[in-house]
């Protein structure tokens, strides 16, 4: 399988290059970075710490997309939405773990998914997706008298908040309750906020140092509290999920898939 890596110079991109190169059924044949990046022209394998693989980092994502079977991307929302359109244009399967997409950008992915197979997940860790299924199940069992609060912490360089995983956990809880997250979410609190609304799903965001990712979902009832917690200490877990998704999606019909589809959950 010919794989292209968009954002190959980033922390996630370098890991994708490394793991795809090590996979028996994949070959990294193209890679790109944002136009103007000082990494353009360098060997993607050298950047990934595995030695030269003969793949030069380009400054144009479309060059990558049009020459591969599957494109994998971890970048920023505006770029991801644009690249999904290009993947649809060139009939290239597409896997993205980019977080922070808004409703319009997710709609653009859904539109592209009518033409090509796409895997889109706020977190590609296998365990996190089991975690999300547990949250949905618990939320469906406990009635709205149990207040749901979601707390997340990441490294100080993360640019979006709350994390895509936290939002995904919120959506899972909302599905369990049979409601729309946008109708019940409290994204932040400051000043005189008044009493907590019944049925709300609250979020708290922490940033600091080099924390890879920690998420806690609390179901707080009178006299008791249930906490579901996931802590990640190795970001390669996300990349392994992306590589697994790329292997799974090859040859699949058009559609917007999630990690639940990849894992058969």
Q: Is there a contact between 19 and 236 (Cβ–Cβ < 8 Å)?
A: yes
pLDDT of residue 70: 98
The answer to whether 93 and 69 are in contact (CB under 8 A) is yes
pLDDT tens profile 106-145: 999 999 999 999 999 878 999 999 999 999 999 999 999 9
Residues of the chain with pLDDT under 50: none
Residues forming beta bridges with residue 149, ordered by sequence position? 202, 218
Q: Please report which helix (H) or strand (E) contains residue 185, including its range.
A: strand 185-186
- Per-residue model confidence (pLDDT) at position 122: 76
Residue 99 is predicted with a pLDDT of 84
What is the Rg, in whole angstroms, of the alpha carbon atoms belonging to the chain?
19
Residues classed as catalytic:
154, 158
End-to-end Cα, the chain, rounded Å: 25
The per-residue pLDDT for range 56-84, each reduced to its tens digit, is 999 999 999 999 999 999 999 999 999 99
Nearest to 230 by CA among 216, 244, 245: 216
What pLDDT sits at residue 123? 87
Token output for 125: 């860790």
C-alpha 90, offset from chain centre: 23
At 66 the three-state DSSP class reads coil
> What domains are defined for the chain?
2-120+236-263 (3.40.50.720), 126-232 (3.30.360.10)
List beta partners, residue 203. Answer: 150
Task: Calculate the CA dihedral of residues 100, 103, 106, 111 and round it to 10 degrees.
Answer: -160
pLDDT at 100: 84
Residue 30, beta-bridge partner list: 4
Work out whether strand 224-232 and strand 213-221 pair parallel, antiparallel, or are unpaired.
Answer: antiparallel
Burial of 75 (0-12, 13-18, 19+ CB in 10 A): buried
């Amino acid at each position: 399988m010919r794989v292209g890596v968009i954002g190959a110079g980033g922390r996630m991109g370098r890991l994708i290059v490394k793991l795809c190169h090590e996979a028996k059924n994949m070959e990294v044949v193209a890679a790109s970075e944002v136009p103007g990046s000082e990494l353009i022209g360098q060997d993607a394998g050298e950047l990934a710490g595995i030695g030269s693989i003969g793949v030069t980092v380009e400054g144009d994502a479309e060059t990558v997309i049009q020459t591969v079977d599957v494109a994998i991307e971890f970048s920023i929302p505006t770029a991801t939405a644009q690249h999904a359109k290009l993947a649809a244009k060139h009939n290239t399967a597409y896997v993205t773990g980019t977080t922070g997409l808004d409703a319009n950008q997710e709609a653009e992915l859904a539109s592209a998914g009518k033409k090509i197979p796409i895997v889109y997940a706020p977190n590609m860790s296998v365990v996190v997706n089991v975690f999300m299924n547990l949250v949905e199940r618990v939320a469906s069992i406990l009635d709205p008298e149990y207040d749901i609060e979601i707390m997340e912490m990441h490294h100080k360089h993360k640019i979006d908040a709350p994390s895509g995983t936290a939002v995904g956990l919120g959506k899972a809880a909302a599905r369990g309750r049979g409601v729309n997250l946008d109708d019940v979410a409290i994204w932040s609190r400051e000043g005189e906020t008044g009493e907590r609304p019944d049925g709300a799903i609250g979020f708290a965001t922490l940033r600091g140092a080099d924390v890879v990712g920690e998420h806690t979902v609390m179901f707080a009832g009178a006299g008791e509290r249930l906490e579901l917690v996931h802590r990640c200490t190795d970001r390669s877990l996300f990349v392994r999920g992306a590589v697994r998704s790329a292997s799974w999606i090859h040859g699949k019909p058009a559609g917007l898939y999630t990690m639940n589809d990849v894992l058969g959950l």
